[in-house]
Amino acid sequence: MFVISIAALKRNTAILREVKEAAGCHLVLALKGFSCWKAFPHIAGDLDGCCASGLWEALLARDHFGKHVV
């Protein structure tokens, strides 16, 4: 079991969004490093999609993130 602060998660992704906009790039979530799919609705607005390294990660991204999968 993990305890995740949604407020801290949103604060951190807001910072990443600002960097993304300033750099003019896309920002994707690496599912290998963070695959807590119940948090996806809270961070999806600031990210452009997910990076999947295999079939199951790609299916997770498609089913629960709802954006571009790389």
Residue with the two structure tokens 């990660």: 57
Contact assessment for residue 25 and residue 48, using Cβ atoms and an 8 Å cutoff = no
Q: Show pLDDT as tens, one digit a residue, over the chain (70 residues).
A: 789 999 999 999 999 999 999 999 999 999 988 888 889 999 999 999 999 999 999 998 898 888 888 8
Give the predicted TM-score (pTM) of the model.
0.78
The domain segmentation of the chain, as residue ranges, is 26-70
Sign of CA dihedral 58, 33, 14, 28: negative
The number of C-alpha atoms within 13 Å of 50 and in the hemisphere containing its C-beta is 28
